[in-house]
């Protein structure tokens, strides 16, 4: 019997809750939404959707009809169900599909009950995309419950429902990008993924669960990045049940009960998949996150192998317990004797998994140990009036496992546990480390975790971390205090177990929360730079395009508009001559030098003219043909419409032709408008969301700040 039937039984209970609470308002985003917001594209390995050829399917909740064929906006379906049902089942697709949802609200009756058995491929995926200028313009009010689907990408949507929002079992290559997922505090899990591979969550807001906002069981490969995860009564997020090779980076995690993020937890043995049948998690990288206002630990490891937790900033965590934990995971065989599916527990035992076939009696679960846990260079700051209830850490003594479980006995939580370079300010000097009463965990004989080492290698209640303004969401380092703190290079892991595919042993963290390159002396926490320590004198950390401008500088694309003092001139318009340099460096890299010009290509760009080499090379690569009449108009400003063409030709090549524009994306770019095809494709690729109010402002001049955003996104600059 399929494991997802357990979810369906739970869903019946949830339906009753929804009926009772039908008139209750959906929970809004927390009032503590961060000033720093979501910064798209801050990691170098954002999921690449490729450049597939797609057949468009149109859906319009307001003006559509399911008697239409969905082939154009004018003949749109009314329901998402009709669009989904039009996609073939059983065989892998040879032609991709893009379901375009026009702005509006799609009620539960307009959404498929079950999303099953659709097999996209990398070259023929299925996109389900909100066709509004922001993710709030297309709202799905129902559960998305997927089973056995491949290569499906959700983009630019809000899924808002008083219950479970997104469930996926036996899924493969799923992308959630630029999404809002809100369970209204009625969700058991806002995002729940079981027995799946290649899951990518990017630039999304996930909230509203009476248990977990994100719950992965037996999920391998993928990441959760650049997202806000909040408002959950249990952990904000955890990866467990043999989940592996996942990165949790540059997220803001807050307002949760049991804790912020944990690698591992407790799992029913029958829900795990071979060969990941021993540890709760393998190869999890948790870096550059901001975690604040959790009742329990900000970070935890519960039965993990090769777990890195580095350069995170924790604030106001652990009020009911401790701030960081490295404890046991748990393993049971769920249900009662004779229940369907429990036979898998014995099968997993026969394969060498750590577990049991016994019915859980509350005290006979298998204790899953930790091995190779590295906790490096984090900030934990509990300001005056706020502290953990008991201690700094929870690190447990060994425990003995029952016979016949294959699990180590005695099991340890401190095998090669390394805690170094952390700044912890929590309570007073009397606050216990949390290992003082241990008999065999982090004792004096343990070279990598003992009381003397912990106090020597970490600043524990000796340096108070000053942050710019945590109450308003600015967690940058304030002042020079971090210069006196010792941080440590993080050693790479060694994959020293057999039978499981090796993970990524590199523990490099090359950038910070905002994508700024970490170089030289490396301060602790999520931010490499302080709140006022910016590169350009005229671009403060509160300026809207600040991270993009600094990334442009760090990539070597610009040196600013003035060198002494160093200035960027963010509000100045970009000329066509300057644009040639920007585009070619974006294409070829900062070290690129174009061929020497002839001075004979454009009448108004002779030899010796500013940027003549760059302008002629831009023409040679087919990105531009000039402004007409044999001229280039080097001193003219670039409009936002022109920039769309330059960027896409630079990104895709001179022969690139975008899909035909619909005129329905931006209010001021109707069908037939100049560059409409290019402008809408720029939006489809996530390079722009317009200028606000549903418009693009095609005739406005591109500022140097806007140019930074365009270039960083178009060319995926680090």
Could you read off the pLDDT of 116-170 as tens digits, one per residue? 999 999 999 999 999 988 889 999 999 999 999 999 999 999 999 999 999 999 9
For the segment 40-62, the average pLDDT, to the nearest whole number, is 82
The pLDDT of residue 242: 98
DSSP-based three-state secondary structure for 488: coil
72, 90 Cβ separation under 8 angstroms: no
Q: What is the C-alpha to C-alpha distance for residues 316 and 531, in angstroms, rounded to an integer?
A: 20
Same domain, 361 and 469: yes
Same domain, 308 and 424: yes
Given 511, 533, 555, which residue is the final one in a domain?
533
Residue 599 resides in a domain: yes
- Pairing mode, strands 228-232 and 393-395: unpaired
Q: With cut-offs at 50, 70 and 90, classify the pLDDT of residue 36.
A: very low
Sequence-distant (6+) residues with CB within 8 A of 642 are: 675
Same domain, 309 and 268: yes
DSSP-based three-state secondary structure for 254: strand
The pLDDT of residue 14: 30
pLDDT in tens, 343-382: 999 999 999 999 999 999 988 999 999 999 999 999 999 9
Least confident of 161-175, 232-246, 456-470, 542-556: 542-556
Q: What is the C-alpha to C-alpha distance for residues 63 and 71, in angstroms, rounded to an integer?
A: 14
Rg (CA), the chain: 27
Q: What is the C-alpha to C-alpha distance for residues 350 and 369, in angstroms, rounded to an integer?
A: 20
Given 502, 533, 564, which residue is the final one in a domain?
533
Same domain, 401 and 313: yes
Same domain, 206 and 342: no
The separation between CA 230 and the C-alpha centre of its own chain, rounded to angstroms, equals 14
Q: Is the pLDDT of residue 13 over 70?
A: no
Q: What is the C-alpha to C-alpha distance for residues 645 and 657, in angstroms, rounded to an integer?
A: 10
Residue 253 resides in a domain: no
- Up-side HSE of residue 443: CA atoms within 13 Å toward CB? 10
Q: Is the pLDDT of residue 290 over 90?
A: yes
For the segment 554-565, the average pLDDT, to the nearest whole number, is 82
Same domain, 138 and 201: yes
Q: What is the C-alpha to C-alpha distance for residues 533 and 77, in angstroms, rounded to an integer?
A: 52
Q: Is the pLDDT of residue 328 over 90?
A: yes
Q: What is the C-alpha to C-alpha distance for residues 130 and 59, in angstroms, rounded to an integer?
A: 10
Same domain, 406 and 492: yes
Determine if residue 411 is left, alpha or beta; phi over 0 gives left, psi from -120 to 50 gives alpha, anything else beta.
Answer: beta
The pLDDT of residue 531: 54
3-state SS of 44-69 is: CCCCCCCCCCEEEEEECCCCCCCCCC
Q: Is the pLDDT of residue 29 over 70?
A: no
Same domain, 482 and 602: no
pLDDT in tens, 583-606: 898 888 888 999 999 999 999 999
Q: What are phi and psi of 652, to 5 degrees?
A: -105, -15
Q: What is the C-alpha to C-alpha distance for residues 232 and 249, in angstroms, rounded to an integer?
A: 19
For the segment 71-87, the average pLDDT, to the nearest whole number, is 97
305, 277 Cβ separation under 8 angstroms: no
682, two tokens: 């720029």
Q: How far apart are the first and last CA of the chain?
A: 46
For the segment 394-398, the average pLDDT, to the nearest whole number, is 97
Give the residue from 512, 542, 545 showing the smallest Cα distance to 529: 512
Give the residue from 670, 625, 665 showing the smallest Cα distance to 645: 625
Q: Is the pLDDT of residue 564 over 80?
A: no
Residue of 178 and 31 predicted with greater confidence: 178
Percent of the chain topping pLDDT 70: 93
- Pairing mode, strands 467-469 and 474-477: antiparallel
Q: In the chain, how many domains are there? A: 3
Given 533, 557, 592, which residue is the final one in a domain?
533
Q: Is the pLDDT of residue 69 over 80?
A: yes
Structural domain range at position 688: 546-714
Question: Given the structure tokens 């046991």, which residue do they identify?
Answer: 328
Question: Given the structure tokens 């709202």, which residue do they identify?
Answer: 139
How many degrees, rounded to 5, is the angle at CA 443 between CA 440 and CA 447? 115
476, two tokens: 């940058």
For the segment 65-94, the average pLDDT, to the nearest whole number, is 96
525, 555 Cβ separation under 8 angstroms: no
Percent of the chain topping pLDDT 90: 75
Question: Given the structure tokens 């060498």, which residue do they identify?
Answer: 352
Rounded to the nearest 10 degrees, what angle do helices 546-554 and 704-714 cross at?
70
Residue 42 resides in a domain: no
Residue 258 resides in a domain: no
C-alpha dihedral sign at 584, 585, 587, 592 = positive
DSSP-based three-state secondary structure for 97: strand
Q: With cut-offs at 50, 70 and 90, classify the pLDDT of residue 20.
A: very low
Residue 284 resides in a domain: yes
Written as one string, the DSSP assignment of 222-257 is: EEEES-EEEEESSEEEEEESSEEEEEEES-EEEEES
Residue 431 resides in a domain: yes
Written as one string, the DSSP assignment of 421-476 is: S-EEE-S-TT-B-S-TT-SSSS-TT-TTS-HHHHHHHSEESSSPPPEEEGGGTEEE
Same domain, 157 and 187: yes
The pLDDT of residue 559: 85
Q: What is the C-alpha to C-alpha distance for residues 635 and 324, in angstroms, rounded to an integer?
A: 57
Q: Is the pLDDT of residue 46 over 50?
A: yes
Residue 47 resides in a domain: no
Same domain, 124 and 66: yes
14, 186 Cβ separation under 8 angstroms: yes
159, two tokens: 């899924």
DSSP category for residue 660? P
Same domain, 16 and 94: yes
How many degrees, rounded to 5, is the angle at CA 477 between CA 473 and CA 480? 155
C-alpha dihedral sign at 593, 594, 597, 603 = negative
pLDDT in tens, 659-713: 999 999 999 999 999 999 999 999 999 898 888 888 999 999 999 999 898 888 8
Q: Kindly report the average pLDDT of the chain as a whole number.
A: 90
DSSP-based three-state secondary structure for 186: strand
Q: With cut-offs at 50, 70 and 90, classify the pLDDT of residue 180.
A: very high
Q: Which residues pair with 212 in a beta bridge?
A: 189
Q: What is the C-alpha to C-alpha distance for residues 182 and 571, in angstroms, rounded to an integer?
A: 36
Residue 46 resides in a domain: no
Same domain, 596 and 473: no
Give the residue from 641, 654, 717, 716 showing the smallest Cα distance to 682: 641
């Amino acid at each position: 019997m399929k494991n997802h039937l357990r979810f369906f039984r739970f869903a019946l209970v949830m339906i009753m809750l929804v009926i009772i609470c039908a008139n209750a308002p959906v929970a809004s985003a927390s009032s503590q939404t961060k000033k720093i917001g979501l910064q798209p594209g801050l990691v170098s390995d954002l999921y690449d959707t490729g450049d597939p050829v797609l057949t468009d399917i149109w859906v319009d909740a307001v003006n559509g009809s399911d008697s239409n064929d969905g082939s154009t906006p004018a003949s749109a379906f009314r329901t998402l169900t009709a669009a989904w049902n039009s996609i073939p089942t059983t065989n892998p697709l040879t032609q991709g599909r893009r379901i375009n949802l026009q702005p509006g609200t799609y009620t539960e009756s307009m959404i498929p009950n079950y999303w099953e058995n659709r097999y996209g491929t990398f070259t023929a995926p299925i996109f389900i995309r909100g066709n509004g200028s922001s993710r709030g313009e297309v709202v799905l009010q129902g559960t998305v419950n997927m089973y056995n689907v491949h290569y499906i990408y959700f983009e630019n949507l809000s899924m808002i429902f008083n219950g479970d929002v997104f469930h996926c079992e036996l899924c493969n290559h799923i992308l959630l990008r630029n999404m809002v997922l809100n369970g209204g505090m009625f969700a058991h899990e806002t995002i729940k993924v079981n027995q799946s591979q290649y899951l990518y969550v990017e630039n999304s807001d996930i909230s509203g669960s009476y248990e977990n906002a994100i719950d992965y069981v037996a999920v391998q490969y993928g990441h959760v990045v650049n997202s806000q995860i909040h408002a959950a009564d249990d952990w904000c997020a955890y990866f467990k049940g043999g989940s592996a090779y996942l990165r949790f980076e540059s997220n803001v995690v807050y307002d949760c009960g049991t804790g912020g993020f944990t690698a591992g937890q407790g799992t029913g043995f029958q829900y795990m998949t071979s060969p990941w049948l021993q540890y709760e998690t393998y190869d999890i990288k948790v870096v550059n996150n901001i975690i604040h206002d959790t009742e329990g630990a900000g970070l935890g490891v519960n039965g993990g192998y090769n777990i890195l937790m580095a350069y995170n900033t924790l604030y106001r965590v652990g009020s009911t317990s401790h701030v960081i934990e490295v404890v046991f995971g748990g393993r049971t065989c769920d249900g009662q004797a004779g229940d369907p599916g429990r036979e898998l527990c014995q099968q997993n035992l026969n394969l060498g998994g750590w577990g049991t076939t016994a019915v859980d009696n509350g005290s006979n679960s298998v204790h899953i140990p930790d091995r190779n846990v590295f906790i490096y260079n984090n900030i934990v700051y509990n300001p005056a009036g706020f502290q953990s209830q008991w201690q700094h850490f929870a690190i447990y003594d060994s425990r003995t496992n029952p016979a016949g479980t294959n699990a180590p006995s005695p099991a340890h939580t401190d095998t090669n546990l390394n805690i170094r370079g952390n700044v912890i300010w929590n309570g007073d000097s009397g606050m216990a480390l949390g290992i003082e009463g241990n008999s065999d965990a982090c004792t004096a004989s343990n070279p990598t975790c003992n009381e003397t080492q912990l106090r020597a290698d970490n600043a524990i209640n000796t340096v108070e971390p000053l942050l710019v303004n945590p109450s308003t969401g600015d967690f940058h380092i304030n002042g020079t205090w971090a210069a006196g703190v010792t941080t440590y290079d993080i050693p790479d892991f060694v994959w020293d177990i057999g039978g499981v595919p090796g993970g990524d042993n590199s523990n490099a963290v090359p950038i910070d929360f905002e994508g700024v390159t970490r170089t030289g002396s490396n301060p602790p926490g999520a931010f490499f730079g302080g709140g006022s320590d910016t590169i350009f004198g005229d671009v403060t950390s509160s300026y809207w395009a600040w991270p993009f401008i600094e990334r442009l500088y760090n990539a070597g694309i610009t040196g600013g508009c003035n060198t002494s003092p160093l200035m960027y001139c963010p509000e100045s318009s970009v000329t066509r001559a300057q644009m040639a340099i920007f585009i070619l460096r974006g294409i070829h890299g900062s070290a690129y030098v174009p061929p020497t010009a002839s001075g004979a290509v454009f009448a108004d760009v002779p030899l010796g003219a500013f940027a003549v080499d760059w302008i002629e090379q831009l023409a040679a690569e087919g990105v531009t043909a000039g402004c007409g009449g044999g001229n280039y108009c080097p001193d003219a400003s670039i409009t936002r419409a022109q920039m769309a063409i330059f960027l896409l030709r630079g990104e895709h090549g001179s022969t690139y032709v975008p899909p035909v524009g619909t005129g329905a994306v931006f209010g001021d770019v109707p069908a037939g408008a100049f560059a409409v095809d290019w402008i809408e494709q720029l939006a489809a690729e996530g390079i722009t969301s317009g200028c606000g109010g549903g418009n693009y402002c095609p005739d406005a001049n591109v500022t140097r700040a806007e140019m930074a955003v365009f270039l960083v996104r178009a060319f995926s600059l680090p």
